[in-house]
């Protein structure tokens, strides 16, 4: 090769251009400049080293024809020819033959800049479509004139496909964000809004233009901001990287708050630097509204249920009315400010103000509601704690309600109408709401309902039982002026119905109670009368007979007794005769006692009362029974405590009573061979003296105890069954009581209590 010198030329690379000094040789060439030839030579050499790289590499001279291409290009584009005009090679799809259109033109290149462009072409033997990115590197003469272009192409099909997919996804995302009904926004690290979609515009009212660049705080209500919600969200974001469905409130452009749920997450760039936060805010206004509605309904129902439970457990009508009033006004109840009960007065044929609750004026309201608030608990606690105070807190309203009086016959009066039609009426600014009402009046005497209650807006609800109208409830909000809603009216109506049924229940309950007590009384009286009748009949029958017999045998008995005593005295000897006489005397005493009992039972004698020392009577009885006790080997003990007061009674009858009890004790010990005991005690108590007479005989069977005081009841073959009946009769005629305690096989104790003489009685005795 013939080297004729060096030549400086320049290849421009992106961003800078490099000058090369190459040894070049000249030889004549028809086309192309010497410089292009030089470059060609170099490329030729280069291609030997990098020819196996998948790089497209070709050279275009200043006439726009292909001056050189590398091996790789030749393999992949077999149609390519040297000297072919570039135009003919458009888009890597060369024309089969050089055509007129693309014949080399005599125009010079002017592209002095480095450029990059992307070509889509069919390449390779199979002619598959590929993306090739080309760098155009102009070859410049030192004076800057363009000599040609070196083009370097790299297959970027895979990258390009990825990019395309990415662009598609981006488009998709954009479409989703654009059409989303939710607000999708992006915040930078200073919480400034960077993007704002249509959804956001709809939910918050701001256009993108109005809000982009502004702080997110613009959308947060002040109290939420003060509460520190944004800090909290930042904390959660830092800790977890995301927040899911956080329910809160945000501000609309018009100042209204909107319920939203927020989901947000942090966004990082490819190097892991935090670039901001994406936020999706969903409008949950409708759902919240439903939720509130549901909650309100549940609350209302549970409230009514609570009221129902309380009210149906009370049977006092006044208490029910009081509970009604509290329930209508108290915190957990229907929350009216004031409530009045106007009740039917059947006797006067009037609807009359009866009871009221609530503050008379705003000052009182503060105090009363403060109190109720303090003791706030469940309604049942309030009901229990709060008594309607007719002297203090509720006096004002109760004075007011007394002034409401409307005759029942005034059917054109609003209250009477509500009562008779069983219809609740809502009044607003003195006008009845709803059109189905006839012309009604509000007049009461020379004034009217509104002026009396000092209220123009109220609800009137009737209370009635199945049988008859009972009254009306009036409720208002005259203190707080809170509007009465449809729900309030409905709740009051429901509640008034419950109150009606509670009152009806209470009335039925009382009627039933009265009937039961009447029946019980009637039954008791019947039983008493029957008992009296039976006793009277028995006594009458026996009385007649026994009186006759008694009279018949009394006289002979008396003389037998007298003679027996004579014998006893006169004949000390022989011993046997004295014993017989003793027996005659005992038997006569016995007979006399029997007779006395028969006579007393048949015809109870009226006690001849005077002061009696009870211990003395007992001592006499014991003395009389001394022989009998000795004969039967009965151990007898007495503990008679002194009583400072006497008994006011009939000594003879008391003697008879104690004698009967002692006799029973002796008889009870009859079968006992040893260890038989009788014990008597007297014990003074403040108002009476108690005499206890016990024996350790066989006792009384539990089932028989209730019968032993009945006349003619006896378990003995030779008993009369009159002893205890007479004892009871005598004790009761002395205002005393007799009781018995007995344990089978252990013994029996009789307790006889006799009241001491009162001073007045004692005095009558002394005179
Ligand atoms: P009578 O003695 O004629 O049977 P009472 O009226 O005196 O009639 O007594 C009625 C019954 O009470 C007696 O039959 C007896 O069953 C029982 N009774 C009374 N006192 C005693 C006693 N101390 N121990 C056991 N039973 C007694
Ligand atoms: Mg007896």
Give 573-585 pLDDT, tens digit per residue: 677 677 777 777 7
Choose one of 448, 481, 510: the last residue of a domain: 510
Please state, rounded to an integer, the average pLDDT across all residues of the chain. 83
Ligand number with the minimum distance to the CA of 668: 1
Q: Is residue 170 situated within a structural domain?
A: no
722-751 confidence digits (pLDDT tens): 899 999 999 999 999 999 999 999 999 999
Look at residue 333 and tell me whether its pLDDT is greater than 80: no
Proximal ligand: closest to the CA of 725: 1
Confidence band, pLDDT 50/70/90 cuts, at residue 101: low
Task: Give the pLDDT score at 82.
Answer: 82
Mutation test of ligand 1: which of 664, 676, 719 has the most ligand atoms closer than 8 Å to its C-beta?
664
User: Partners of 350 in the beta sheet?
Assistant: 345, 407
CA of 724 from ligand 2 middle (Å) equals 6
Residue 635 φ then ψ, to 5°: -80, 125
550 within a domain of the structure (yes/no)? no
Q: What is the average pLDDT across 642-655?
A: 90
- Examine the domain organization and report whether 385 and 483 are in the same domain: yes
C-alpha dist (Å) from residue 275 to 16, 278, 586, 672: 33, 10, 131, 116
Domains: count for the chain: 4
pLDDT exceeds cutoff 60 at 117: yes
pLDDT score recorded for residue 37: 80
> Locate tokens 């009885």: which residue?
621
Q: Token match 């109840």: residue?
A: 333
> Distance between CA 367 and CA 394 in Å, rounded?
11
- Which residue from 714, 717, 752 has its CB within 8 A of the most atoms of ligand 1, so it is best to mutate? 714
Looking at the fold, whether 269 and 309 belong to one and the same domain comes out as no
Mean pLDDT, residues 690-715 taken together = 92
Residue pair 499/473 in contact by the 8 Å Cβ criterion: yes
* DSSP-derived secondary structure letter, 702: G
321 and 356 share a domain? Answer: yes
In a domain? residue 169: no
Tell whether 593 is covered by a domain.
no
CATH of the domain at 266: 3.30.450.20
Atom 17 of ligand 1, nearest CA residue: 708
d(CA 616, CA 731) in angstroms, rounded, equals: 17
| pLDDT tens digits, 63-75 | 778 888 888 888 8
Residue 171 lies in a domain: no
Q: Which of 708, 717, 748, 751 to mutate to test the pocket of ligand 1 (most atoms within 8 A of CB)?
A: 708
Atom of ligand 1 nearest to the CA of 726: 6
CA distances from 35 to 58, 107, 175, 531 (A): 15, 18, 54, 155
- pLDDT, residue 678, reads 96
Task: Please tell me the number of the ligand nearest to residue 708's CA.
Answer: 1
Q: What pLDDT score does 351 carry?
A: 94
Q: Looking at the structure, do residues 313 and 336 belong to the same domain, yes or no? A: yes
Q: At what angle do helices 285-311 and 486-570 cross, to 10 degrees?
A: 20
Under DSSP, the state recorded for 704 is: G
pLDDT at 155: 87
The confidence score (pLDDT) of residue 442 equals 92
477 CB contacts (<8 Å, ≥6 apart)? 336, 337, 338, 457, 483, 484
**Residue 70 CB burial class (10 angstroms; 0-12, 13-18, ≥19):** buried
| pLDDT surpasses 50 at 653 | yes
What is the structure's pLDDT at 25? 40
> What SS3 state is found at 648?
strand
Contact 279, 245 (CB under 8 A): no
The answer to whether residues 100 and 193 belong to one domain is: no
First-residue to last-residue Cα distance in the chain: 183
Q: What is the pLDDT of residues 544-580, one digit of tens each?
A: 666 666 666 766 677 777 777 777 677 666 776 777 7
In-domain check, residue 561: no
Looking at the fold, whether 298 and 274 belong to one and the same domain comes out as no
SS (H, E, C) 2-70: CCCEEEEEEEEECCEEEEEEEEECCCCCCCCCHHHHHHHHHHHHHHHHHCCCCEEEEEEECCCEEEEEC
Looking at the CA of residue 660, tell me the nearest atom of ligand 1.
7
Question: Which of 423-427, 505-509, 697-701 is least confident?
Answer: 505-509
pLDDT-above-90 percentage for the chain: 38
CATH number, domain of 625, equals 3.30.565.10
637 and 499 fall within a common domain:
no
Indicate the residue among 283, 316, 340 that finishes a domain: 283
Q: Is 497 helix (H, G, I), strand (E, B) or coil?
A: helix
Poorest-confidence range of 208-222, 296-310, 525-539, 697-711? 296-310
Range of the domain at 490: 292-510
pLDDT in tens, 167-181: 999 999 889 888 899
715 Cα: distance to centroid of ligand 2 (angstroms): 10
Q: What are the structure tokens assigned to 353, written together?
A: 């103000």
Indicate the SS3 state at residue 457: coil
Residue 518 belongs to some domain of the structure: no
Q: What's the pLDDT at 95?
A: 58
Q: Looking at the CA of 726, which ligand is closest?
A: 1
Ligand 1, atom nearest to 713 Cα:
10
Judgement on whether residues 129 and 184 belong to the same structural domain of the protein: no
Residues 184 and 142 in one domain: no
pTM for the complete prediction? Answer: 0.42
Q: Do 739 and 657 share a domain, yes or no?
A: yes
Cα–Cα dist 49/282, whole Å: 63
Compute the distance from residue 604 Cα to the ligand 2 centre, in Å.
17
Residue 379: what pLDDT?
A: 64
- Model confidence at 752: pLDDT above 70: yes
Q: Same structural domain for residues 104 and 51?
A: yes
> Where does residue 254 rank: exposed (0-12), middle (13-18), buried (19+ CB within 10 A)?
exposed
CB 476 within 8 A of CB 336: yes
pLDDT surpassing 60 at residue 247: yes
Q: Is the pLDDT of residue 424 over 60?
A: yes
pLDDT over threshold 90, residue 373: no
Answer whether residue 371 is part of any domain: yes
Select the more confidently predicted residue: 634 or 87: 634
> For position 99, which CATH number holds?
3.30.450
**pLDDT tens, 465-481?**
888 899 999 999 988 88
- Residue 19 reports pLDDT greater than 70: no
Nearest protein Cα to ligand 1, atom 7: 723
Decide which of 283, 303, 320 is a domain's last residue.
283
- Listed in sequence order, the DSSP H helices in 571-631 are 575-602, 614-624, 626-631
Which carries the bigger pLDDT value, residue 369 or residue 587? 587
Does 420 lie in the same domain as 452? yes
Average confidence (pLDDT) over 693-711: 93
3-class secondary structure, 682: strand
Two tokens, residue 53: 């790289």
Query: Which residues are near ligand 1 (CB < 6 Å)?
Result: 660, 664-665, 668, 695, 697, 700, 708, 713-716, 719-725, 748
- Strand partners for 749: 694, 741
């Amino acid at each position: 090769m013939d080297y004729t010198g060096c030549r400086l030329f320049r290849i421009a690379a992106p961003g800078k251009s490099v000058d090369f000094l190459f040894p070049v040789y000249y030889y004549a060439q028809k086309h192309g400049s010497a410089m292009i030839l030089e470059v060609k030579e170099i490329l030729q050499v280069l291609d030997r080293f990098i020819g196996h790289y998948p790089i497209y590499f070709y050279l275009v001279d200043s006439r726009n024809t292909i001056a050189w291409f590398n091996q790789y290009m030749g393999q992949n584009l077999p149609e390519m020819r040297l000297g072919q005009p570039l135009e003919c090679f458009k888009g890597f799809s060369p024309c089969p033959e050089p055509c007129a259109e693309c014949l080399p033109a005599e125009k010079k290149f002017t592209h002095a800049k480095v450029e990059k462009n992307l070509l889509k072409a069919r390449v390779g033997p199979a002619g598959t479509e590929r993306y090739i990115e080309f760098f155009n590197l102009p070859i410049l003469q030192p004076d800057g004139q363009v000599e040609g272009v070196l083009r370097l192409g790299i297959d970027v099909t895979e990258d390009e496909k990825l990019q395309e997919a990415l662009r598609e996804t981006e488009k998709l995302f954009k479409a989703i964000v654009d059409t989303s009904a939710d607000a999708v926004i992006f915040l930078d690290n200073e919480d400034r809004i960077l993007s704002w979609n249509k959804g956001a515009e709809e939910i918050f009212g701001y256009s993108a233009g109005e809000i982009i660049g502004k702080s997110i705080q613009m959308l947060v209500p002040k109290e939420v901001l003060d509460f520190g919600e944004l800090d909290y969200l930042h904390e959660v974001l830092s800790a977890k990287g995301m927040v899911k469905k956080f329910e809160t409130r945000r501000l609309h452009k018009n100042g209204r708050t909107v319920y939203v749920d927020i989901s947000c997450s942090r966004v990082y760039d490819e190097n892991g630097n935090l670039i901001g936060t994406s936020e999706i805010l969903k409008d949950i206004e409708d759902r919240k509204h439903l939720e509130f509605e549901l909650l309100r309904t549940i609350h209302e129902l549970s409230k009514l249920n609570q009221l129902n439970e309380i009210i149906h457990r009370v049977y006092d009508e006044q208490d029910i009315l009081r509970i009604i009033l509290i329930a209508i006004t108290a915190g957990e109840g229907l929350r009216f400010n004031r409530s009045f009960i106007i009740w039917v007065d059947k006797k006067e044929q009037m609807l009359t103000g009866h009871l009221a609750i609530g503050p008379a004026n705003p000052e009182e309201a503060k105090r009363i509601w403060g109190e109720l608030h303090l003791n706030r608990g469940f309604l049942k606690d309030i009901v229990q704690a709060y008594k309607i105070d007719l002297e203090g807190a509720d006096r004002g309203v109760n004075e007011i309600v007394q002034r409401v009086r409307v005759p029942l016959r005034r059917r054109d009066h609003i209250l009477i109408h509500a009562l008779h039609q069983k219809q609740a009426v809502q009044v607003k600014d003195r006008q009845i709401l709803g059109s189905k009402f006839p012309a009604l009046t509000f007049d009461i005497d020379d004034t009217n309902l509104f002026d009396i209650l000092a209220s123009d807006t109220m609800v009137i609800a009737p209370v009635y039982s199945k049988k008859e109208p009972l009254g009306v409830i009036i409720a208002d909000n005259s203190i707080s002026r809170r509007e009465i809603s449809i729900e309030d009216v409905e709740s009051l109506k429901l509640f008034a119905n419950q109150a009606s049924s509670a009152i009806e229940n209470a009335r039925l309950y009382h009627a039933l109670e009265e009937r039961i007590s009447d029946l019980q009384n009637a039954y008791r009286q019947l039983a008493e009368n029957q008992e009296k009748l039976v006793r009277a009949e028995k006594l009458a029958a026996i009385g007649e007979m026994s009186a006759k017999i008694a009279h018949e045998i009394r006289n002979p008995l008396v003389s037998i007794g007298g003679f027996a005593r004579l014998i006893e005295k006169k004949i000390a000897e022989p011993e046997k005769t004295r014993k017989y006489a003793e027996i005659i005397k005992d038997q006569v005493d016995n007979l006399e006692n029997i007779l006395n009992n028969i006579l007393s039972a048949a015809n109870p004698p009226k006690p001849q009362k005077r002061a009696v020392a009870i211990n003395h009577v007992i001592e006499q009885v014991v003395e009389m029974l001394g022989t009998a006790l000795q004969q039967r080997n009965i151990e007898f003990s007495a503990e008679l405590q002194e009583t400072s007061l006497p008994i006011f009674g009939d000594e003879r009858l008391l003697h008879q009573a104690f004698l009967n009890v002692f006799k029973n004790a002796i008889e009870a010990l009859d079968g006992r061979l040893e260890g038989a005991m009788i014990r008597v005690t007297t014990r003074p108590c403040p108002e009476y003296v108690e005499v206890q007479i016990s024996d350790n005989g066989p006792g009384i069977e539990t089932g028989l105890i209730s019968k032993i005081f009945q006349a003619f009841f006896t378990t003995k073959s030779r008993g009369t069954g009159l002893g205890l009946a007479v004892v009871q009769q005598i004790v009761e005629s002395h205002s005393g009581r007799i009781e018995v305690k007995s344990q089978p096989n252990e013994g029996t104790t009789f307790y006889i209590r006799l009241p001491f003489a009162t001073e007045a009685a004692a005095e009558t005795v002394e005179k």
